[in-house]
Amino acid sequence: MKPLALLAIGVFTMMTLLASSQEDDDASVMLALKNSLNPPGWSDPDPCKWARVRCSDNKRVTRIQIGRLNLQGTLPTTLQKLTQLEHLELQYNNISGPLPSLNGLSSLRVFVASNNRFSAVPADFFSGMSQLQAVEIDNNPFEPWEIPQSLRNASGLQNFSANSANVRGTMPDFFSSDVFPGLTLLHLAMNSLEGTFPLSFSGSQIQSLWVNGQKSVNKLGGSVEVLQNMTFLTQVWLQSNAFTGPLPDLSALKSLRDLNLRDNRFTGPVSTLLVGLKTLKVVNLTNNLFQGPMPVFADGVVVDNIKDSNSFCLPSPGDCDPRVDVLLSVAGVMGYPQRFAESWKGNDPCGDWIGITCSNGNITVVNFQKMGLSGVISPDFAKLKSLQRIMLADNNLTGSIPEELATLPALTQLNVANNQLYGKVPSFRKNVVVSTSGNIDIGKDKSSLSPQGPVSPMAPNAKGESGGGPGNGGKKSSSRVGVIVFSVIGAVFVVSMIGFLVFCLFRMKQKKLSRVQSPNALVIHPRHSGSDNESVKITVAGSSVNVGAASETRTMLAVRQVIFKWLKQEIWSFPYKF
């Protein structure tokens, strides 16, 4: 028992010394923090008795809450030694200098440092913070920085707020429900972010999303379609960016209260499904390119929609001209192009609308050539009975030509050349000139487009071409070469197998008879071959020939001759046409 008792005493002593050492570390760090910031109420020799400081039962510092005390100074680099720290709250002071690395503070759950004068965020700042739940670092003059991948290790993150924090780059793709299943607040307003919303936002639990007022040249832009799958959203601030396209269906956002869209480039009508959301309290639409009738929201909804700041057909609520409705329907299946929304203002499409020509108030020509349009051709063209010419050439339109277009009584020309259309061409009257050249799948039952689908108007291919150009020939040639190579390899395999079988037959007499090695290598040059690299070398594996058995020798030679003759015939008869 004595050895065990001694061991227990030794372990206890070591643990006591370790705890004492950690307490001393905490005390030294707190003393350095006091000397730099000099918070009020920090005079006792024991830091655990200081105001706004809490410690555990074993005298380890767990909370420092010294916000709103007008403190000045810098943070000591030794803060990361406070390994039991859970809350560090420094907000609304004048603390300056770089944030020290807090790498390894695995117990830290809350870090608040908003409204200070911190100058930099170290690259490893979030490393090792596996228990982090809330981060608030708004309104600090940081040097430009990007949100690091190390943050994703804090899977319990609930709030992340870095407004006016000089964050740059694209929106991180890890703010998703898979990485942060409990994330409900994401505020990144007034930074220098660019690019589009990541698709990983879909299905997230985020309730409050602020990305307004990006200061970068390109700002945040593109479609906001992913919002329709963020069904927990209650507050969405997108104002002062470069978002484009129509609004998605937001009817599934049953808790949405505050939607700020002003100062973007949104197009298309404001959906009645959005107007009908019962939870909506505030909506901002000013300075966009919204089209169609002006929406009428329910009483009690605060609406920011300055007169003439959009492209509504009328300056007040009311129905649009039927011609406007048809053209908006046509534009809708093309994604409500921004170019149309910028030009199509007012309630008279004959009043200098781009692409529209009229005669006596009737639309006679629709000319959308070379406008980079994507989407499909709307059958609603057929509602414009006065149409004489439809010009849609040189775009990226997909789908088929609607049968309804053949019913237009005044139509004389349909030009859909150089798109990505497929399917049967409807039967037009004999006097209608129909141009479909440059659509490689016209007449086919389906499109040969890649699974990714058609090229969008905002993202043509690398050369700005509409597809269907040269390049298919290379694929066919490569396919033929593959067939030839496969056939030759197959022939070599068959010959090798035959040789192997012959070899096995004669091997049975090897132990009794003397033998001589007679490897046979045949080099056969295929017809029309242009180089030695295309030669086929076939080796019949070392054949065992009985010196004293003439009949067996003749048999072996006969077999080889048959093989040679067959192989020669097979290869020379193959159609080498590249």
Q: Are 122 and 101 in contact (CB under 8 A)?
A: yes
Look up the CATH number of the domain holding residue 144.
3.80.10.10
Rounded CA gap, 478 and 485, in Å?
A: 11
Q: Are 303 and 283 in contact (CB under 8 A)?
A: yes
Strand 536-546, strand 515-524: pairing: antiparallel
DSSP secondary-structure letter at 119? Answer: -
Q: What are phi and psi of 48, to 5 degrees?
A: -70, -10
Question: How distant, in Å, are the alpha carbons of 174, 205, 286 from that of 153?
Answer: 10, 18, 40
> Which positions ≥6 away from 112 have C-beta within 8 Å?
67, 88, 89, 90, 91, 134, 135, 136
Distance CA 110, CA 85 (A): 9
In a domain, 398, yes or no: no
Q: List the structure tokens of 511.
A: 């132990």
Domain membership of residue 439 (yes or no) is: no
**Residue 401 belongs to some domain of the structure:** no
Q: Partners of 362 in the beta sheet?
A: 359
Q: What is the pTM of this model?
A: 0.75
Instruction: Name residue 213's amino acid.
Output: G
Q: Could you tell me the residue range of the domain that residue 553 belongs to? A: 477-572
Overall number of domains in the chain? 2
- 470 located within any domain: no
Phi-psi region of 361 (alpha: psi -120 to 50; beta: other; left: phi over 0): left
For residue 291, with 0-12 CB atoms within 10 Å meaning exposed, 13-18 middle and 19 or more buried, which class applies? buried
Q: What is the DSSP letter of 166?
A: -
What does residue 35 show for φ and ψ, rounded to 5 degrees? Answer: -65, -30
Quote the CA–CA distance of 361 and 386 in Å, as a whole number: 10
Distance CA 89, CA 526 (A): 81
Domain annotation covers residue 122: yes
Residue 371 lies in a domain: no
Q: Where are the alpha helices (DSSP H) in 291-347?
A: 322-332, 338-343
Of 136, 132, 196, the C-alpha closest to 160 is 136
Residue (of 17, 40, 42, 20) closest to 31 by Cα position: 42
pLDDT value at position 2?
Answer: 54
How many residues are given for the chain?
A: 578
Measured between alpha carbons, how far is 55 from 44 in angstroms, rounded to an integer?
Answer: 14
Say how many C-beta atoms besides its own lie within 10 A of residue 49's C-beta: 12
Residue 531 lies in a domain: yes
The interaxial angle of helices 550-572 and 472-507, nearest 10 deg, is 170
What lies within 8 Å, CB to CB, of 491 at 6+ separation is 536, 567, 570, 571
pLDDT in tens, the chain (578 residues): 555 555 555 544 444 434 445 567 899 999 999 999 999 999 999 999 999 999 999 999 999 999 999 999 999 999 999 999 999 999 999 999 999 999 989 999 999 999 999 999 999 999 999 999 999 999 999 999 999 999 999 999 999 999 999 999 999 999 999 999 999 999 999 999 999 999 999 999 999 999 999 999 999 999 999 999 999 999 999 999 999 999 999 999 999 999 999 999 999 999 999 999 999 999 999 999 999 999 999 999 999 999 999 999 999 999 999 999 999 999 999 999 999 999 999 999 999 999 999 999 999 999 999 999 999 999 999 999 999 999 999 999 999 999 999 999 999 999 999 999 999 999 999 999 999 999 999 999 999 886 543 333 333 322 223 333 333 333 333 344 344 444 545 554 544 555 555 455 445 444 333 333 333 333 333 333 333 333 333 333 333 333 333 344 444 445 455 455 555 554 444 444 33
Residue 78 lies in a domain: yes
Q: Tell me which amino acid residue 261 is.
A: L
Question: How much is the pLDDT for 498?
Answer: 54
Give pLDDT, residue 243.
98
**Cα angle vertex 293, ends 290, 296, to 5°?**
100
